[in-house]
């Protein structure tokens, strides 16, 4: 998988990225890499020019890069673990505080990557204070009480349906992510690349251009503008702007990017299918897991956007929220399965036969029919996730959130399909402030907002508040994490940032006693 002659350029690539080691790589990650390479070799001619290196870094990014005539997949074990953690949240019910804590720490680590020490320290300070507060409210202090309920349901054949999906969700997600990166390699190296790209482009083109005539709902999943919010130095709302007027000139670029992602998703689907066929995982579990993977990727992207783009108090500025097209990728999944079954894609006979063995059954057809409905519902839910994140931002930094800014006059002159993309920018102003209440993370409220979404929403709000004004966080919630801003190694700073996570694992609050030495040890 990795030739000796490429070790030096691979190390140079990782060094340029500034990747910070996290933990030892698990054996499962290395086995996944070997399995992926062997799988590609069995279905395509691009394996000999592909190299997969396995790392464990705090960046949590699995990616594909070209190095000369070769392709490199950097498989990050921590990325797989992070996706696994997100998947596990779907099969239990617990307090939102634990979802919030993990997402906030990921944002803090993101700030550390960029040498933004005060913002990282403020995020950790607030996350750790909330854990301390939870222990006090639960009357378990200093112990951190973490009650969990495992969610199960029974399928028609008597098996535990959710339990069955839960057992396989993490490896399905891992296979899909690695297969997706293999797809990026195939589209650049395979003899079938042009045919694969042409077929995927036909699907995207239909959704995009016929959607402009009002015949396809996928238009709204693939075309939405970036949103921009301009805040004054004191947190006063100045204006909102969308990039909607730039969408029409950019449609060709959007179409090209969506085509590339669809080919990559096809290979993610093929590799995940191969795993499910080998392990007798029902098609329904595969479809549901992949839809959840797209949502998890969206949540992680939004957390990073807020950490990156929130302006600073005292100077203000514009915060840009690029639109991620995970909703489109989810809505396109059933069509991708149907097109592969029909032999539309230029794949090897082995890949198609393996795919058909899994998907050509009554059970698979039922799962696919349900998947169409689920994909449509999920793509709408993705929009709500995006709006929750932007709502957290506006409630965190604006001194007064306007009830609803007036729409620009030109919106009324646009076709109905494009009006929706323009109005998109104003959606966060409609999110109730109660969703981000100070005590919202300490109680279960599944009826109003399930724990995953509540923890995500409050994490976005508190990340934005900490980045906007770190000093306000230190003044209100303590300064135990200020040593993170001192002269010390990057590794010790990351060690300090992990401390709230260790409290969760050990279920014991150390907030009152925490003092860090020069190595970042408490």
Token pair recorded at residue 128? 């750790």
Q: What is the pLDDT of residues 94-119, one digit of tens each?
A: 899 999 999 999 999 999 999 999 99
- To 10 degrees, the CA torsion angle through 489, 491, 494, 498? -130
Which of the residues in the chain have pLDDT under 70? 1-6, 150-166, 209-223, 243-249, 405-422, 446-447, 518-519
**Is residue 184 within 8 Å of 264, Cβ to Cβ?**
yes
What is residue 297's three-state secondary structure? Answer: helix
Q: Which pLDDT value is given to residue 155?
A: 46
Token pair recorded at residue 382? 């993705």
3-state SS, one letter per residue, for 260-296: HHHHHHHHHHHHHHHHHHHHCCCHHHHHHHHHHHHHH
Task: Determine phi and psi for 378, rounding to 5 degrees.
Answer: -65, -40
DSSP string, 398-424: -SS--S-PPPPGGGGGS-HHHHHHHHG
Question: Is this model's pTM higher than 0.75 or not?
Answer: yes
**Is residue 198 within 8 Å of 262, Cβ to Cβ?**
no
Q: What is the pLDDT of residues 399-436, one digit of tens each?
A: 998 877 666 666 666 666 566 666 788 889 988 888 89
Domain regions of the chain by residue span? 94-140, 165-498
Token pair recorded at residue 388? 């929750």
3-state SS, one letter per residue, for 111-127: HHHCCCHHHHHHHHHHH
Token pair recorded at residue 424? 């998109």
Q: Which pLDDT value is given to residue 455?
A: 95
Radius of gyration of the chain (CA): 23
Residue 484 burial (CB count, 10 A): 25
Q: Which contacts qualify for 473-477: CB closer than 8 Å, 24 or more apart? A: 473/122, 473/123, 473/125, 473/126, 474/121, 474/122, 474/125, 477/125, 477/126, 477/129
Q: Which pLDDT value is given to residue 1?
A: 52
């Amino acid at each position: 998988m990795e030739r000796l002659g490429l070790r030096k350029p691979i190390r140079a690539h990782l060094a340029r990225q500034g990747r910070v080691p996290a933990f030892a790589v698990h054996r499962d990650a290395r086995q996944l890499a070997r399995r992926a390479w062997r799988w590609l070799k069995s279905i395509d001619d691009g394996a000999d020019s592909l190299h997969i290196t396995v790392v464990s870094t705090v960046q949590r990014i699995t990616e594909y890069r070209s190095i000369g005539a070769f392709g490199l997949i950097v498989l990050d074990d921590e990325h797989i673990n992070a996706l696994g953690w997100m998947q596990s949240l779907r099969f239990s019910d617990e307090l939102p505080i634990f979802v919030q804590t993990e997402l906030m720490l990921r944002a803090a680590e993101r700030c550390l990557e960029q040498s933004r020490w005060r913002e990282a320290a403020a995020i950790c300070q607030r996350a750790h204070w909330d854990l301390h507060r939870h222990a006090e409210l639960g009357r378990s202090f200093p112990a951190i009480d973490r009650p969990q309920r495992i969610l199960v349901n029974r399928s028609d054949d008597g098996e535990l349906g959710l339990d069955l999906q839960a057992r396989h969700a993490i490896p399905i997600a891992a296979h899909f992510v690695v297969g997706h990166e293999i797809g990026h390699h195939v589209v650049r190296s395979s003899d079938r690349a042009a045919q694969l790209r042409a077929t995927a482009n036909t699907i995207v083109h239909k959704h995009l251009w016929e959607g402009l005539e009002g015949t396809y709902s996928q238009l709204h999943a693939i075309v939405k503008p970036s949103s921009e919010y301009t805040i004054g130095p004191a947190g006063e709302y100045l204006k909102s702007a969308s990039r909607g007027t730039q969408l029409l000139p950019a449609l060709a670029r959007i179409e090209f990017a969506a085509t590339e992602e669809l080919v990559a998703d096809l290979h993610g689907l093929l590799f995940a299918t191969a795993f499910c066929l080998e392990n007798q995982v029902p098609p329904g579990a595969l479809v549901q897991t992949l839809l959840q993977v797209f949502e998890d990727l969206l949540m992680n992207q939004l957390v990073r956007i807020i950490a990156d783009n929130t302006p600073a108090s005292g100077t203000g500025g514009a915060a840009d929220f690029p639109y991620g097209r995970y909703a489109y990728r989810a809505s396109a999944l059933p069509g991708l399965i149907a097109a592969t079954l029909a032999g539309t894609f230029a794949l090897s006979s082995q890949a198609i036969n393996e795919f058909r063995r899994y998907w050509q059954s009554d059970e698979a057809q039922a799962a696919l029919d349900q998947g169409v409905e689920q994909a449509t519902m999920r793509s709408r839910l993705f929009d709500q996730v995006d709006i929750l994140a932007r709502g957290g931002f506006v409630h965190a930094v604006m001194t007064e959130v306007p009830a609803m800014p007036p729409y620009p006059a030109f919106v009324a002159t646009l076709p109905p399909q494009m009006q929706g993309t323009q109005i998109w920018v104003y959606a966060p102003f409609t999110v109730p402030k109660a969703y981000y209440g100070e005590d919202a993370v300490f109680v279960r409220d599944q009826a109003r907002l399930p724990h995953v979404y509540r923890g995500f929403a409050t994490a976005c709000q508190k990340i934005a508040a900490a980045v906007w004004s770190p000093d306000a966080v230190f003044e209100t919630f303590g300064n135990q994490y200020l040593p993170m801003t001192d002269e010390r190694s990057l590794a010790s700073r990351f060690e300090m940032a992990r401390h709230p996570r260790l409290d969760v694992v050990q279920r014991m609050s150390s907030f009152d006693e925490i003092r860090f030495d020069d190595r970042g040890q408490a």
